[in-house]
Structure 1
Amino acid sequence: MLPEIADHAAAPLADFGASDTALLDVAFGCATPQGRLPFELPRSMAAVAASREDVPNDTEDPFFPAGHGLTL
């Protein structure tokens, strides 16, 4: 589901505990977005099933790899 949504979005936005104010500041251009994923996001459940559960970042061709994101 995520690949289908992200493929049609200009900029996918994920919130990992940010305040509403901080999220809206970024959405309306009052703050610069920044951050990196601490884990990868697999492309499908089949990729999850094929990966080793005891090895981090082990899926083949992840949709978003660990470390993907924005920095200043």
Structure 2
Amino acid sequence: MVCVHLERPAVLPEIAERAAALLADYGASDEAVLDVVFGRARPQGRLPFELPRSMEAVRAARPDVPNDTADPVFPHGHGLEL
């Protein structure tokens, strides 16, 4: 289980490939994160941006167009719903 605090998009394909589970945190308390990790709460939410596959993809993307990287690891809106 890997928990990544996302203030902005991150390049983390190696982590995503090797982790049994990947949890994105946007400022949740430690208690709330641990409630999800230990099954006391259900994870939910959607990415507000895409997570690019590489820095090369970031450099090739147009800076004025959101969600413009080629083949993102996780696209905008990826996540879980209840």
TM-score range, shorter chain: over 0.9
- Mapped to 2, the partners of 1:35 and 1:10 lie a distance apart of 18
Give the match's secondary structure for 1:13: strand
User: Corresponding residue for 1:60?
Assistant: 70
- Mapped to 2, the partners of 1:34 and 1:13 lie a distance apart of 10
Q: In structure 2, what residue type is equivalent to 1:70? A: L
Cα deviations by residue, 1:45-67 (Å, 9 ceiling, x for unpaired): 00001000000000111111000
User: Corresponding residue for 1:8?
Assistant: 18
4+ long deviations beyond 6 Å: none
Cα deviations by residue, 1:14-54 (Å, 9 ceiling, x for unpaired): 21111111111001000000011000011000000100000
- Count of aligned positions: 72
From the CA coordinates, give the structure whose radius of gyration is larger: 1
Question: Higher strand proportion, which one?
Answer: 2
TM-score with structure 2 setting the length? 0.83
Over the matched positions of the two proteins, sequence identity in percent amounts to 75
Q: Pairwise mapping of residues 1-72 of structure 1 onto structure 2 (< 5 A)?
A: 2-72=12-82
Q: Which runs of 5 or more residues in structure 1 are unaligned?
A: none
